[in-house]
Amino acid sequence: MSGFDAVLVPGGGLLGNGDLPPWVVNRLDRAMELAEGAHVIALSAATTHKPLLLDAAGRPVYESTQAAHYLLRHGFPAERILTETASWDTIGNAYFARVIHTDPAGFRRLLIVNSEFHMPRTEAIFRWIFSLDPPEPAYSLSFDAVPSAGMSEEVLAGRRERERKSLESLAKTRESLRSLAEVHRWLFTAHDAYAAGLSPVRATDPAVLQSY
């Protein structure tokens, strides 16, 4: 039995044909390796930086659903796979993972698995969101970073720089939002991925877009 109640895996984009990119496959393989008896929670609907993929019937192809299919194909038990299809960014990953799954399910010992290029900001966001209005017992978070497989040096350098800037800008947001209620209000009134009437600011660098 693992020391975790759930292993959380943020999404990392899809290829044009709907397949998972190598860096996401790395995350899922590591999650299965470490989960033992724990649930795996696949996170993310999609990204605001690219158009939402549709299948042949015109239905949306969600990142977390594709991740769940991968887990199933590799023998992970269906009853221990959970998906989250509400989030479009890393803050959403953490917020919706908590309010949809971990709070109601009583999961408290969590492992977050992500690519090394994305881990500093991921850890900052998850520690922030899961420290708000702490339940009893409080959350215990662990993090495991996997190699950023499948990215060229140009793509990786561009994405690391974008992550660095995003982490810097996170500090003000984190300081201004001190409860889950305040995060909820901000998400749906001020965050351009979720608030009605706002349009997301999308990445335009072709190299960086390859990392989403």
Residue 1 has pLDDT above 60, yes or no: no
Band (pLDDT 50/70/90 cuts) for residue 75 is very high
Strand order of the β-sheet with 6-9 is 81-83, 39-42, 6-9, 109-115, 140-146
Residue 204 has pLDDT above 60, yes or no: yes
Report d(CA 209, CA 16) in Å as an integer: 12
CB-based contacts of 77, cutoff 8 Å, min separation 6: none
The model carries a pTM of: 0.96
Determine the distance from the C-alpha atom of residue 115 to the mean position of all C-alpha atoms in its chain, rounded to a whole number: 11
pLDDT of residue 160: 95
* Mean per-residue pLDDT of the chain: 96
Domain-wise residue ranges, the chain: 6-209
The CATH code of domain 6-209 reads 3.40.50.620
Q: For residues 91 and 46, is the Cβ–Cβ distance under 8 A? A: no
Report d(CA 12, CA 79) in Å as an integer: 23
| Averaged pLDDT, 87-92 | 98
| Averaged pLDDT, 189-212 | 93
By C-alpha distance, which of 144, 91, 84, 94 is closest to 115? 144
- Only one residue has tokens 């020391």, namely 3
Condensed to tens digits (0 to 9), the pLDDT of residues 150-194 reads 999 999 999 999 999 999 999 999 999 999 999 999 999 999 999
pLDDT of residue 89: 97
CB-based contacts of 18, cutoff 8 Å, min separation 6: 53, 55, 61, 66
